[in-house]
């Protein structure tokens, strides 16, 4: 949100018919004023995930500004969600954190799971609490996001994953595209925009210890499964009957990628895995030669 160009980027994507989701700490008020002026048709497909930095907001006296900005986009017709990253330092404030969200937005915030990236080979939970105590402590929010992330946290994904074809990771500054956060295959799609995007699925070759953002990738369906929907990870129903997700955004987040993409045949999966393995060994060979 620090870059004013973010407003134009979002507008252009929305005008192309896309659904846009923006992650923000909610403190750059001018941007929310700008987004609120969008036409109704665009705002129906615009979603903000507000990061609930409770301790920082408390220290800096920013609660009023933060919640005013959320209400600003909500009242303008956009969808939103409020998410707290749990930390051991915030445990003594849990009741205040929850009650403030209910008071200001009509429902308790969601809770995610922090990962310790200093141990990037395992990415364990970032807490000093034993697992059961951690679950009991943060489970009081009754957040489907927290509950689903607990279910999949630490599970190595060996299923066939369509990331790289049904989705991809793009650096908007450089144009570098990769299959996911870690990738065997990369390409720059800005160098020649007349060329088609080289979609290539990961297949059964995930490099991550576990899908730590599976609350998005798995619920949207990069790996077709019986996972809950992304809408369940983001929505809350308020006491007055309203919801954090507007109807059109809720409907979109309730779909799965296989509904708009064709699943591979057995032969296509074999071919994809062969191509990724070939890239993997070629990369390792060049690294060894250096």
Q: pLDDT digits over 1-56, tens only?
A: 998 899 999 999 999 999 999 999 999 999 999 999 999 999 999 999 999 999 99
Does the pLDDT at position 287 exceed 70?
no
Q: Does any domain span residue 173?
A: no
- Report, in this order, helix, strand and coil percent for the chain, each rounded to 5: 45, 10, 45
Beta strands, E only, the chain: 20-24, 46-51, 79-84, 110-111, 169-170, 176-178, 186-188
The first and second tokens of residue 149, run together, are 């992330």
| Residues in a beta bridge with 81 | 49
Cβ 242 vs Cβ 231: under 8 Å: no
- Kindly state whether residue 9 falls inside one of the protein's structural domains: yes
The mean predicted confidence, pLDDT, of the chain is 95
Question: Which residues share a beta bridge with 243?
Answer: 237
The span from the CA of 28 to the CA of 51, in Å, is 13
Q: Give the residue numbers spanning the domain of 96.
A: 5-146+243-256
Helix extents (H) in 54-180:
54-60, 63-76, 94-105, 131-138, 144-152
Is 203 a member of any domain?
no
Inform me whether the pLDDT recorded for 85 exceeds 80: yes
Amino acid 49: pLDDT: 98
Domain count of the fold of the chain = 1
Percent of the chain surpassing pLDDT 70: 98
pTM (two decimals): 0.92
Q: pLDDT for 140-196, tens place per residue? A: 999 999 999 999 999 999 999 999 999 999 998 999 999 999 999 999 999 999 999
Residue 14 domain flag: yes
Q: Which pLDDT does position 87 carry in this prediction?
A: 96
Assess if residue 155 is contained within a domain: no
Distance (Å) of CA 89 to CA 82, 141, 143, 222, 238: 19, 17, 20, 34, 28
Identify the weakest region by mean pLDDT among 86-90, 147-151, 248-252, 280-284: 280-284
């Amino acid at each position: 949100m620090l870059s004013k160009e973010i407003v134009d980027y979002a507008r252009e994507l929305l005008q192309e018919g896309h659904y846009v989701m923006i992650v923000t700490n909610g403190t750059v008020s001018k941007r929310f004023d700008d987004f609120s002026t969008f036409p109704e048709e665009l705002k129906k497909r615009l979603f903000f995930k507000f990061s609930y930095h409770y301790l920082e907001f408390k220290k800096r006296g920013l609660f009023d500004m933060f919640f005013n900005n959320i209400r600003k986009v909500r009242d303008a017709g956009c969808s939103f969600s409020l998410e707290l990253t749990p930390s051991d330092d915030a445990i003594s404030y849990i009741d205040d954190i929850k009650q403030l969200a209910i008071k200001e937005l009509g429902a308790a915030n969601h809770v995610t799971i922090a990962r310790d990236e200093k141990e990037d080979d395992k990415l364990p939970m970032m807490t000093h609490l034993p697992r059961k105590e951690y679950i009991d402590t943060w489970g009081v929010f009754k957040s489907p996001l927290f509950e689903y992330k607990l279910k999949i946290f630490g599970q190595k994904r060996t299923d066939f994953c369509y990331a790289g074809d049904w989705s991809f990771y793009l650096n908007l500054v450089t144009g570098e595209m990769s299959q996911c956060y870690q990738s065997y295959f990369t390409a720059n799609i800005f160098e020649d925009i007349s060329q088609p995007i080289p979609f290539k699925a990961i297949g059964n070759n995930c490099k991550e210890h576990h899908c730590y953002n599976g609350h998005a990738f798995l619920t949207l369906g990069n790996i077709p499964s019986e996972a809950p929907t992304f809408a369940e990870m983001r929505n809350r129903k308020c006491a007055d009957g309203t919801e954090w997700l507007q109807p059109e955004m809720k409907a979109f987040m309730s779909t799965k990628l296989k509904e708009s993409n064709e699943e591979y045949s057995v032969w296509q999966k074999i071919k994809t895995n062969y191509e990724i393995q070939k890239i993997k060994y070629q990369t390792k060979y060049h690294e060894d030669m250096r």
